[in-house]
Chains A and B, each alone.
Chain A
Amino acid sequence: MSSNYKMKYNVDIVFVIDSTGSMSDLIDIVKKNAINFHTDIQAVMSKKGKTIQDFRIKVIAYRDYVADGADAMLRTDFFKLPEETEAFRDTVNSISAFGGGDEPEDGLEALAFAIRSKWNTEGLKRRQLIVVWSDASTHELGFGKEMENYPTRMAKDFNELTKWWGDKDNSGYMDYNSKRLILFTPDVPGWSDIRNSWDNVIHYMSEAGRGLEEVNYNQIIDAIAYSI
């Protein structure tokens, strides 16, 4: 008797994971739950009565261009879940926590890569989520630019990265209404600047240097599901 029309969500998520030495506990949480991640998100979404049509996830594991050279940045393409769950799990399992050098890491470069992902632009309702986990502050963009493997097409400073993220007048590389940035990081330079000046951000402020030991899996699932 009522409308025949039903809306569905296309969801893209990019995990941006600080993979330096102190992050092993958090990385273990992600590894342990990678295989169930799609099902767990779907379960929360189903309870909310929301239907997800296409669900994709991508991983960026980062360290420090100066201290870690070729191991500074691992980037995958999007995995379509549940079809590519095994490949997603294998990729996550290949991440281990080491390196990092000094305390700040190259989190802003990792975030820049995440922003420029090939987002799904199909579908009526979309969500483009970036979830960042780190227990450290960030170097300024370009800190490692003298290194051989530093990316050539990188935002030159925080202002340019802010433009890449965009605002309601200039959408940047992501859709303004669809994008969300979820930070599980300390309240330290880099992340706090983002929280204070960017739209569409939620910041779960952890204690610096403690590997996000206060964060548990259910919190992560809830934070993501509530952002969709």
Chain B
Amino acid sequence: MAGPSIVICSEREKLAGLGEDSFSYSFDCGDTGYISVFDGCGGMGAKKYPKVGNRSGARVASRLAAYVTDKLYEDKQFLFDGNDCQRLKERLTEEFAKIRNTIETENGLKLGGDLFKTMPTTASIAAVKNNGSSITCEFFWAGDSRGYFLDAEGLCQVTKDDIKTDEDAFTNLRSDGRMSNVIHAEGDFSLNTREIEISQPAMIITSTDGGFGYYGTPMDFEYIILSSLMESDSPEEWENKLSELIIPVTGDDFAVGIAVYGLDDIADCREHFKERCQFIKESYIDPVGENADEEQLLRLWQKYKPGYYRR
């Protein structure tokens, strides 16, 4: 037993040097590893900090959260003992407070209100343990970044968005629901967790909303993952092709991490998901034109939804 056969992370800053998404992953500790993405919240965290080159709190936050997650893994503290979430939250709280105290100054306008947080970021982290025929996956998240798995039955969203209104993934693409919880330096945030057992072969996916949030339907997100895979002969090519499909559509920075378990290589992965990709294309993508009718999209979503929420 070992780590995943393929790991990719597609990401892009909308504005070079000003991006607010971040990611980290590692599979160096035997059977366990993790992938993670973070989306610094540009609106809530727009305040700039002169002590860190006038970077925004959002940018600082996503990078700090990625560092903290990686450090916890490096310290071999993902133990799958039911306490990983608590350990991660404590570490995040401690490090965010430390950095806030270092970079905060008294200059400029003071900010307040629920749309302002000090160094806010979303998180979607998947810590994975390979058990042979299956994997144990601990998802940790805050905000609207998501964790999924994708097997021959299709994409399944495991995490539940922290938004103020209770909406499904299709409705939230339209209403842009306000987030009710993000990681930030004041410390009064929640880190959600869910552990599930997944049969191999499967992909584990984490994504910021820049990856999935600018398409007409959740089906599109599954399709771009699979269609980019179908056109690729190497993990690097898959990573690039996935970015190429997201960039023209997204209105945001994005980071999408994928780890593949139970398949030998990219060719094996392509072969395994070929049928599913064709099915999604014929059932959900080809019927939708440029001026898609909302009712038609909703009908297609209703058909797709039970599978998408099957776990």
Contacts and interface: CB of A to CB of B under 8 A. Distances in A.
Interface string B133-146: 00000000000000
Contacts, number: 110
B164 A199 contact: yes
A5 B296 CA distance: 13
B42 A226 contact: yes
A205 B47 CA distance: 13
A41 B43 CA distance: 15
A49 B111 contact: no
Contacts of A227: 43, 115
Interface in B10-48: 14-15, 42-44, 46
A199 B176 CA distance: 15
B52 to A, nearest CB: 18
Contact of A4 (B176, B178, B289): B289
Interface in A37-81: 47-51
A187 to B, nearest CB: 7
Contacts of B224: 2-3
A168 B252 contact: no
B189 interface: no
Nearest to A178: B176
Contacts of A214: 108-109
B115 A51 contact: no
Which bucket holds chain A's interface residue count? 35 or more
Given A2-B227, A49-B251, A201 B220 contact: no
A1 B245 contact: yes
A1 B111 CA distance: 44
Given A3-B220, A4-B288, A47 B111 contact: no
Interface string A76-104: 00000000000000000000000000000
Which bucket holds chain B's interface residue count? 35 or more
B175 interface: yes
A177 B220 contact: no
Interface in A171-228: 176-178, 180-181, 183, 187, 195, 198-206, 214-215, 219, 222-223, 226-227
Contacts of B252: 48-49
A124 B164 CA distance: 18
25 contacts: A2-B223, A3-B216, A3-B220, A3-B288, A4-B289, A5-B288, A5-B292, A6-B214, A49-B14, A125-B174, A125-B176, A177-B177, A181-B113, A183-B113, A187-B110, A195-B112, A195-B113, A199-B114, A199-B164, A199-B178, A202-B43, A205-B109, A215-B109, A226-B43, A226-B46
Interface of B: 14-15, 42-44, 46, 108-116, 164-165, 173-178, 214-217, 220, 223-224, 227, 231, 245, 249-252, 285, 288-290, 292
